[in-house]
Amino acid sequence: MSTSHPAWLKRMQNGSIGEARARAFLIDRFWILERSVDIEGADFIIQRRITTHSLFDLRPPRLGLVQAKFIQDEKTDIYIHSEYVKEKTGEPHPEFFLLVSTGYEDRCVMHLLSAEDIMQNFAMVEPGLENAGKYKLPGKTLFNNKFKVASPRLSLERMEASLNLADIVKNHRFMFPFVSTEAPKEAAIAPKYSEKIDNAYASNIPKTFFTIKKDARRWLEDVEEAKGYLEDIVTSIDPLIALKAAKDFDSMLTVDGRLSLGRLYDKEFEDEVNEYSHKLALLKQHNLLDNYILLREKGEKLISEHLCTGEPWNKQDVCLFECKLDNMLNVTSFGLRKEQEKHSLPNNGTVQVIASDAETIELCFSFVPAVCRWSFSDTYQENPTWEQTVLSNARVWTATILFTVFSWIEQDFCSAEKLDVYR
C-alpha cells in the first residue's frame, strides 16, 4: 500500500512544519505578534522584548519580518519576493529573515538567512520567466549547511542586533503594510463634505483634501527621518557614525532633496470649502438639503432624456430651457425646445430669472447642446460620443440652474422678511 500523499496535502504539511519549528525557535528571544490576515512573505512579525516603547510611540520599537519554510529534499527550490529582501535603493532590509527547516525528527536542521545573505548568494529570476523578479534559492544550496544554525543563541543574537541597527523610519515604512489592514487615515474626510451640492469644488473636495494630506504625510515622514539623523549626531559617541548621519542629513537638504518642501495652504480651496459649508448649513437649516440634491438628479435626468429624444441636434441649434419650482424645490413645470431666433434668447449658459417670490421661482436659459461642456466630475474625452456630450451638458447646466436656485433660497424666500410666508 502506497504511503504517498497528494501534492496539496504535502504543501499544507510542509507549511505547518516550517511555521511550527520557526515559532519554537523565535519565541525564546522575541515577542511574536499575531496577524489579522495571512500575508504572503510575513509568516511571523517579531518584536524585541522591550517594555520601554510601544507601537503607539512616535518612535515605536523596530519590528522584524520572518518567512518560514520547510523543504524535504534538494529538489525543492524557494522563491522570495525581491521587495522583502531589498529596498528601492538596493540596500538589504535588515528586518527581513528567512528560516528554512529541513529533515525530520533526529535529523532536524534549521537554516537562517538574512536579506544580505540572500542578496549576496542568490540571483533573481530573469524577466519573462516564471517567478520573474523573485530571488531563487535552490534547495541543493540550502542543504549544504552553509546557513545552518549551529547555535540558536548566537543566531538569535544576530537577528536582534540587526533589528536594533535598523533605521526606525525605514523600518516603520517597510513594516506598515504587514501590521495594518486599515485604509490610510489620509483618505478620511467628514461625511458632510461628500454631499453633492454643486459648487466649484463640490465633486473634488475629498480628492483635493486627500492630495494635501498625502503631501503632508510624505513630508512628515521625511522630517521624521531627518530628525532621526540629527538625534544620531547628538547622541553618538563615535565621530564616524555621527559624520555618516550628518552626510545623510545634508543629502536631504540639497536642491533635489526631500526636505525642499512645497506649500500646503491653498487659499482658493479654503474659499471653496467655506462656500460649500455655507450652502450646506443654510440648506440644512431650512430642511432643503435632500430636495436640493434630488433637484440636481432630476434636472440631469430631464435634460438628458429630452436631448436624447426626437430629432438630432446640430451644432448651430440652440436649446431653450424653462422651468418653475415651488418653495420646496419641486419642479412644477418644465420645458426644453429648439429655438431659431438666437437674438431673443438669454445669453448662452446664463440663467435668467423670469419671476420669483417667496413661493415660486421661474427661470430660463439657453445653450448649444451639440457643444460639450465638461463638468468637474467628468473625465475629458477628445472625441466624445453624443451620449457623453448629453450627460456632461446635463450635469453642467443643472449645476448652473442650482447656483441660481440657491441665490433665490439665500436672498428671497429665506430672508427675514419672507421667512414667515415660507413657514
Interval 278-315: pLDDT, tens:
888 888 888 888 888 888 888 888 888 877 776 667 76
Strand order in the sheet with 318-326: 331-339, 318-326, 360-367, 352-356
Q: How confident is the model at residue 421 (pLDDT cuts 50, 70, 90)?
A: very low
CA angle 383, 386, 389 (to 5 degrees): 75
Measured distance CA(18)–CA(297) in Å, rounded: 58
Residue 64 and residue 123 in one domain: yes
The answer to whether residue 281 sits within a structural domain is no
Residue 264 and residue 309 in one domain: no
Res 389: pLDDT: 75
Residue 172 and residue 255 in one domain: no
Residue 109: all three cell numbers together = 536542521
Contact between 384 and 372 (Cβ < 8 Å)? yes
Residue 106: all three cell numbers together = 533526529
Tell me the C-alpha to C-alpha distance, in Å, between residue 264 and each of 137, 216, 220, 258: 47, 7, 12, 15
CATH number of domain containing 81: 3.40.1350
* Burial class of residue 202 in the structure, from the number of CB atoms within 10 Å of its CB (0-12 exposed, 13-18 middle, 19+ buried): buried
Measured distance CA(231)–CA(401) in Å, rounded: 59
The residue with greater pLDDT, 100 or 410, is: 100
Residue 246 and residue 169 in one domain: no
Q: Looking at residues 336-343, what average pLDDT do you find? A: 66
Residue 247 and residue 332 in one domain: no
Task: Count how many domains the chain has.
Answer: 3
Measured distance CA(213)–CA(190) in Å, rounded: 14
Kind and range of the H or E run holding 214: helix 205-235
Amino acid type, 344: S
Residue 342 has pLDDT above 60, yes or no: no
Measured distance CA(320)–CA(317) in Å, rounded: 10
The answer to whether residue 279 sits within a structural domain is no
Q: How confident is the model at residue 418 (pLDDT cuts 50, 70, 90)?
A: very low
Q: Residue 319 forms beta bridges with which residues?
A: 338, 367
The residue with greater pLDDT, 416 or 68, is: 68
Res 298: pLDDT: 85
The answer to whether residue 276 sits within a structural domain is no
Q: Which domain holds residue 92?
A: 7-179
Q: Where are the alpha helices (DSSP H) in 252-385?
A: 267-285, 289-308
Residue 82 has pLDDT above 60, yes or no: yes
Residue 162 and residue 190 in one domain: no
pLDDT digits (tens, 9 = 90+) for 357-409: 888 888 887 777 766 555 545 455 667 777 777 777 777 778 888 888 888 88
Q: How confident is the model at residue 19 (pLDDT cuts 50, 70, 90)?
A: confident
pLDDT digits (tens, 9 = 90+) for 155-209: 888 888 888 777 665 666 666 555 544 444 556 788 788 787 765 445 578 888 8
Residue 34 and residue 146 in one domain: yes
Residue 138 and residue 204 in one domain: no
Residue 164 and residue 76 in one domain: yes
Residue 41 has pLDDT above 50, yes or no: no
Residue 16: all three cell numbers together = 505547518
**Domain edge (last residue) among 179, 199, 214:** 179
- DSSP characters over 260-291: -------HHHHHHHHHHHHHHHHHHHTT-HHH
Residue 305 and residue 417 in one domain: yes
The answer to whether residue 389 sits within a structural domain is yes
Measured distance CA(361)–CA(327) in Å, rounded: 8
Measured distance CA(268)–CA(265) in Å, rounded: 9
Residue 27 and residue 138 in one domain: yes
